[in-house]
Amino acid sequence: MSLSSKIFLGMAAGVVLGTLFNIIGTNQWFAADLVAWLVNSAFDVVGQIFIASLKLLVVPLVFVSLVCGAAAMGVNARMGQMAIKTLSLYLLTTAIAVSSALLIANLIDPGVGIEMTSTATYEAGPAPSVKEVLINIFPTNPIRAMAEGNMLQIIVFALLMGVAITRSGDTGNRLLDFFESTNAVIMTMVTFLMHLAPWGVFCLLTKLFSELGIAAIADLAKYFFTVALVLLLHGLGVYSVLFKVLTRLSPWVLLKNIRPAVLFAFSTSSSSATVPVTLNVAEKRLGLDNSVASFTVPLGATINMDGTAIMQGVATVFIAQAFQVDISLGGYLAVILTATLASIGTAGVPGVGLVTLSLVLQQVGLPVEGIALIIGVDRLLDMMRTAVNVTGDCMVSTVVARSEGLLDEALFQDMTDRDEFQEGADEPPVHRRSE
Ligand code: ASP
């Protein structure tokens, strides 16, 4: 059985068992206490250790891999060109995502007739200014940036280091050898973890579904399914069309190859924790050169959140309808702009999209308490939107690599179920050095 199938099986078993536990718990059936104890001990422990191990690899892998990537690329016009292409595509896809969310939500009207019975309240935190956000991209202390897992700061430092290596002659080359070997070793650690993934996701999802209020979905069915529909249309339709037009390659092959990353994203609800797997998939299954993937993947996990923008678009329409507030055309344009920017500012961790939603709501004068209405179903939607976020990262990364001539097409087309996770360690580093 291929690894993706095993992970999928682990997920499905987790959903079924978790739902069963949920039913036992809610009805206080036989052994309800035992079930609750099991969920909070064994399942929770394994699930949390699994997430911790994934997170453990993010910072070292992003740093080391990007140093190698930047050194391979060197400082030249090509690097700037790649960065501009990546950023433009990330922004474009997010703007398309939120626009289609607004359009479809207005057709379905998920919030019409909603009675404002929610007693929950929600308070928005203070939003950082654009100036602060910009200054914050530049690290004052690389160790602190790594300790805090500040992805953009790590990216800036790694780019600088990689470029400096290429300018330091032999000394630089010796250091690069060290980074390349470290990169290969950390990739092997990702490999270990991917082999444990079926069990990890099984425990994570059993715990999650045993606590998930499925009943809440019934109350908010229209909102839930509108978000789910737009996510599906965007993740399968819009990406496929864009990918086909921009690369002339098969979107089906893309979707099939990225399955492990999408399943990880779904199970962990965190694009950031999924970065090691996304990088592994990008280089070993999609055939992207490390010099592209090491830049586009961590950047995408930090700023490219199409799924999140979709949720924010639908939620804005839903809350406006529930509170019977009309949004003008200018208001919608403001939503598109703010949701695109908010998704950049959304950290790739569970539930943050809901926090940055308050920025969008404030922009069009909607009450942030409206967020309390949708909190009940957000956990499940978070899983789905994170899967779309990661799909977007993979799609754009492949488009950029292809346009730069840095995509190994033979590897991309190779659909055999390679168990690439057992090879890794013996492979020599694949980075090209710039002249
Ligand atoms: N969980 C999402 C992610 O990590 C962010 C969000 O929408 O809350 O991509």
Query: Which pLDDT value is given to residue 407?
Result: 93
**What total number of domains does the chain contain?**
1
Asked if the structure places residue 421 within a domain, the reply is no
Query: Which pLDDT value is given to residue 358?
Result: 87
CA-349 nearest atom, ligand 1: 4
* Short-list 414, 380, 319, CA closest to 111: 319
CA angle 273/413/421 to nearest 5° reads 40
Asked if the structure places residue 357 within a domain, the reply is yes
Q: Could you give the CA distance from residue 211 to residue 157 in angstroms, rounded to a whole number?
A: 41
H-type helices in 1-76, by residue range? 3-26, 32-38, 44-73
Asked if the structure places residue 284 within a domain, the reply is yes
Domain of 262, CATH number, reads: 1.10.3860.10
Joined tokens for residue 268: 């962990």
Please give the backbone phi and psi of residue 212, each rounded to the nearest 5 degrees, phi first.
-70, 130
Query: Which pLDDT value is given to residue 426?
Result: 46
Q: Hey, CA dihedral for 5, 6, 8, 13, is it positive or negative? A: positive
Mean pLDDT of residues grouped by 10 in the chain (435 residues)? 87 92 84 87 92 91 90 76 92 95 94 66 64 86 93 90 91 93 91 89 91 73 94 97 96 94 93 94 93 93 93 94 88 90 80 86 86 86 95 97 93 70 46 43
Give Cα separations from 415 to 240, 330, 418 (angstroms): 17, 47, 8
Question: 347: CA distance to ligand 1 center in Å?
Answer: 7
- What is the model's pTM? 0.87
CA-385 nearest atom, ligand 1: 7
> Which of 380, 389, 390, 391 is the pocket-test mutation for ligand 1 (most atoms within 8 Å of CB)?
389
Asked if the structure places residue 425 within a domain, the reply is no
Question: 390: CA distance to ligand 1 center in Å?
Answer: 10
> Which of 382, 383, 390 is the pocket-test mutation for ligand 1 (most atoms within 8 Å of CB)?
382
Q: What residue's CA is closest to ligand 1, atom 7?
A: 353
Contact of 128 with 347, CB cutoff 8 Å: no
Query: Within 10 A of 28 (CB to CB), how many other CB atoms are there?
Result: 8
CA-269 nearest atom, ligand 1: 1
Question: 384: CA distance to ligand 1 center in Å?
Answer: 9
The amino acid at 434? S
Q: Which domain holds residue 184?
A: 3-412
DSSP 8-state assignment for residue 375: G
Query: Which pLDDT value is given to residue 429?
Result: 45
| SS3 category, 33 | helix
Question: 27: CA distance to ligand 1 center in Å?
Answer: 32
Asked if the structure places residue 417 within a domain, the reply is no
Asked if the structure places residue 269 within a domain, the reply is yes
Which residues make Cβ contacts (< 8 Å) with residue 70, sequence separation at least 6?
79, 158, 159, 161, 162, 163, 165, 291, 294, 295
Query: Which pLDDT value is given to residue 383?
Result: 94
CB-based pocket (< 6 A), ligand 1: 269-272, 305, 308, 346, 348-353, 382, 385-386, 389
Asked if the structure places residue 174 within a domain, the reply is yes
Query: Within 10 A of 236 (CB to CB), how many other CB atoms are there?
Result: 14
Which residues make Cβ contacts (< 8 Å) with residue 305, sequence separation at least 6?
94, 271, 343, 344, 346, 348, 353, 385, 389
Asked if the structure places residue 420 within a domain, the reply is no
Q: Could you give the CA distance from residue 117 to residue 129 in angstroms, rounded to a whole number?
A: 34
Query: Which pLDDT value is given to residue 95?
Result: 94
Query: Which pLDDT value is given to residue 152?
Result: 86
Query: Which pLDDT value is given to residue 114?
Result: 74
